[in-house]
Homo-oligomer: A and B are copies of this chain.
């Protein structure tokens, strides 16, 4: 046992195991019994280390089946971000607004770079999504999935999986918070129009217009989040 913290130590050793053996996501890991023999520690310590790794998405545990290398997505980050925001919200901070501004800051910067560079195939996909959105708007409210898909498709062609994942993580966090924390009223038709505006701007290749279209979209949500703006 080294420095301070046996459980910490075991976590590092398991991580090292994954890295050294180049294990891909989904690869099976040693059983708890094997790990405790391998490291010379008790079952309990092994389990505590695994739980911590599971919380970080590094490991996936399936009851009665085995332990595997985790998907290593941004899911844990979402959880952390959500909790942090919820806690801040109930303590009177404007944490939800901060999260929205974070998304706004990042997405406005990115969309400017995308303007005019999206291939026709993807534009058609976005077109279809806006159409679906308008359909749903007429029927009542825009489905969350549709909005998510629009944003995902928009930034997909940046060709950086990590970047896309981070953006989707922010979207997911904000979405879950918006529904759990405060039910922000939305006008479906306005939402549709704004998405159509973003698409049109991106298609036209006008970076400035694209940026302001996205900003307008976020501004719409932001206004409804600000205190004293809920009728």
Contact = CB atoms under 8 A, between A and B. Distances in A.
Interface in A58-114: 58, 63, 72, 74, 76-77, 79-80, 83-84, 86-87, 90-91, 95, 98-99, 101-102, 105-106, 108-110, 112-113
Copies of this chain in its oligomeric complex: 2
A7 B52 CA distance: 11
Contact of A162 (B52, B56, B74, B98): B98
A15 B82 CA distance: 11
B48 A105 contact: no
Nearest to A43: B44
A166 interface: yes
Interface string A193-216: 000000000000000000000000
A151 interface: no
A19 interface: yes
Contacts of A15: 83
Contacts of A112: 109
A80 B102 contact: no
Given A19-B87, A90-B22, A80 B105 contact: no
Contacts of A98: 160-163
A91 B22 contact: yes
Counting chain A residues whose Cβ lies within 8 A of the other chain, the interface size class is 35 or more
A18 interface: yes
4 nearest interchain CB pairs?
A: A109-B109, A52-B55, A55-B55, A98-B162
Interface of A: 4, 7, 15, 18-19, 22-24, 44, 47-49, 51-58, 63, 72, 74, 76-77, 79-80, 83-84, 86-87, 90-91, 95, 98-99, 101-102, 105-106, 108-110, 112-113, 158, 160-163, 166
